[in-house]
Structure formats: C-alpha cells, structure tokens
Copies of this chain bind each other. A is one copy, B any other.
C-alpha cells in the first residue's frame, strides 16, 4: 500500500533553553530532523514525505539543507499553533488513500522493527500505536493526594502513530480539545479503537538538554 510520512516539526524549542528549535539541533553533526528522515528513507525510499515546519523557521531549514546537502523530495506544510493543527495541516497534503506514519521529528531513533510493526498492524487493522512498558514505579496524583498505581497496566506511547489515511483524516475533522496529546487520542475521541504494537526503547523524544547527551551517544553507537 502507498506509504506517507508526516514528520511533525512544529516545536519552538522552549523546553531546551535554546533559540534553535530542537528538531534543528545538530546531533553527531546533523540536524535531528534529518536523522529522523534518514531512518524512514532507509526503511523505504518510496515513502512520500511531508515535513510540517514552523513558517518562521523555513529560512533556517533551507540554510540547513544547503549546509548538509540535503536534496531529497518532500512537501512542506506549515505548523499550526498546536500539534493538532500541525498534524492536520500535514494530512491535508495527502490526496490519496494509503498508510501514513505520523512521526515526531524529534524521535530520530525509531527502529526499522518498530516501523515494520506499525506498517503490518495498520494494513491488518487500520492503525498501530508503538508503546513500551514503564520501568519505573508510577504514581498518580489526584484530589486525595498521590498513590501507587499498577504500572503493568500503563504504557508509554511513541511515534510513528500509524493510520490508514482516510480514517485519520476523518478523525481530524473533529473539533480540537485539550485532551489531545497525540494522534491516537484524536482517533479515539472520534470513536476509533487503537491497536498497540511494540516500540523500541531507544525511540526517545528529544525534549530536554539531557536528551541531547543521550542522542549524541546513540548516534555514535548505532
């Protein structure tokens, strides 16, 4: 089936304490976003790519492309004010049915095995969500204080959140709300049932300066 990848790079980098959005930070001498692209391109060079970029960062991106001789084919959609808007803008660029990987630009260490898991389950069931178990103990805070929860019932969600194109485009027709932290929650809110698959532990979301140290180490080792 035709494959698409919407690489979501809408972030402004505030949590990094850096002026450069984290998707553009160089790790192992190359911007994070290019690493993320590389994994998908190596997995299948026929994927059609849509990069969702903040409109005010297009110049920076073009300069980076020149510097790193990044000369691949992709479309650009503009980021919105929220992740929901950004993904919606990205999905609008897709005009035919198929399977779409919706990927955080700041997750450059997704494995080919995770991509295979996502693709296979989406072909069979219409969607796939990569998750990993939580190693640490987990506590929940509510109006009665905080208490231990059974961590075996909880999973951390990664990307690419993968969907049959028409199904996820339909879900994104619904009104945005604050509970949408990812595409699965949008899909679910529109009545869809989500299927989980195994993610990979290296598939971290580069969010804080500590993550850059980790990312540098992963680039060297992998």
Contact = CB atoms under 8 A, between A and B. Distances in A.
A185 B155 contact: no
A213 B207 contact: no
A40 B155 CA distance: 32
Nearest to A185: B148
- Chain copies in complex: 2
Contact of A181 (B148, B182, B207): B148
A134 interface: yes
A139 B151 contact: no
Where chain A touches its partner, the secondary structure class is mixed
Interface stretch (A28-36, A117-125, A188-196): A188-196
B148 A136 contact: no
Contact of A193 (B140, B145, B188, B218): B145
A114 B188 CA distance: 38
Nearest to A158: B136
Interface string A183-216: 0110010000110100001100101101001101
25 contacts: A129-B139, A131-B139, A135-B208, A136-B157, A137-B156, A137-B157, A137-B181, A137-B182, A139-B196, A141-B153, A141-B154, A141-B155, A145-B193, A146-B194, A146-B196, A147-B188, A148-B182, A148-B188, A154-B154, A201-B210, A213-B217, A213-B218, A213-B221, A216-B217, A217-B217
